[in-house]
A and B are shown apart, each in its own frame.
Chain A
């Protein structure tokens, strides 16, 4: 079983839709969770950062972490064509060693149609 599983999509939605992106993981030591957005032919950029369980909201974006289910989500409200990108989840459980390195999902490609 991979440490982090993410549906690669592609996911196509109409403009204005609510988008739900998800990752599951197997390592209960993970406690820092991130979402990165990667536009075509660009580097990943940090979108959301969450520590432990709970929700975090930033504008149209909400990140949720459910550690009991080992499941994280990113919601995009009122999606825009400019949200079309690949979204990567990432996580780590800092223990002072190499286990602190980020583990990435493979990314979900999202397309928002006007």
Chain B
């Protein structure tokens, strides 16, 4: 039982490049989330998916898109990366919307 897994662990992009962050969970959770964590800002919700087939914007959705591929997988896409998107990205999942279980994170640097 791996819990929540994320790939890649690290990534360096140049401004304007695109990339997709992958997340998968094996806990049969309905809800999945993408956060970014920046020094002094705490965890901020980018997008979430309350159930398979639905996605909604969180606090900071601009510059990102998401896909809930199936119940297990939830991906985050940066279409045109900007230096302001340099951050640590965490995926999480939960059975409802209270207790969430987090992945190990992806450290992204945009030059």
Interface residues of A (CB under 8 A from B): 8, 32, 34, 36, 41-46, 49, 88, 90, 92, 94, 98, 100-102, 104-107
User: Would you give the shortest CB distance from A79 to chain B, in whole angstroms?
Assistant: 23
20 contacts between A and B (CB under 8 A): A8-B40, A34-B99, A42-B104, A43-B4, A43-B90, A43-B103, A44-B90, A44-B102, A46-B99, A46-B101, A49-B99, A90-B100, A92-B97, A100-B96, A100-B97, A100-B98, A101-B58, A104-B42, A105-B42, A107-B42
User: Would you give the shortest CB distance from A102 to chain B, in whole angstroms?
Assistant: 6
User: Would you give the shortest CB distance from B49 to chain A, in whole angstroms?
Assistant: 11
Among B32-81, those with CB < 8 Å from A are 33, 40-43, 45, 48, 56, 58
Interface centre among B43, B96, B99, B105 (most CB of A within 10 A): B43
Interface residues of B (CB under 8 A from A): 4, 33, 40-43, 45, 48, 56, 58, 90, 96-105
**Complex partner residue of A94 from B4, B98, B104, CB under 8 angstroms:** B98
Cβ-defined contact, B102 with A88, below 8 A = no
* Other A-B pairs beyond A101-B97, A104-B43, 10, CB < 8 Å: A36-B102, A41-B105, A42-B104, A44-B43, A44-B90, A46-B101, A49-B99, A100-B96, A101-B33, A102-B45
Q: How many residue pairs between the two chains, A and B, have CB atoms under 8 Å in the bound complex?
A: 51
User: Would you give the shortest CB distance from B107 to chain A, in whole angstroms?
Assistant: 8
Cβ-defined contact, A92 with B98, below 8 A = yes
Write out the residue numbers on chain B whose beta carbons fall within 8 Å of the beta carbon of A45: 102
**Complex partner residue of A102 from B97, B103, B104, B105, CB under 8 angstroms:** B97
Complex Cα–Cα for A43 and B106 (A): 10
Write out the residue numbers on chain B whose beta carbons fall within 8 Å of the beta carbon of A49: 98-99
Cβ-defined contact, B102 with A43, below 8 A = yes
Q: Give the residue name and chain of the B residue nearest to A105 (CB).
A: B42
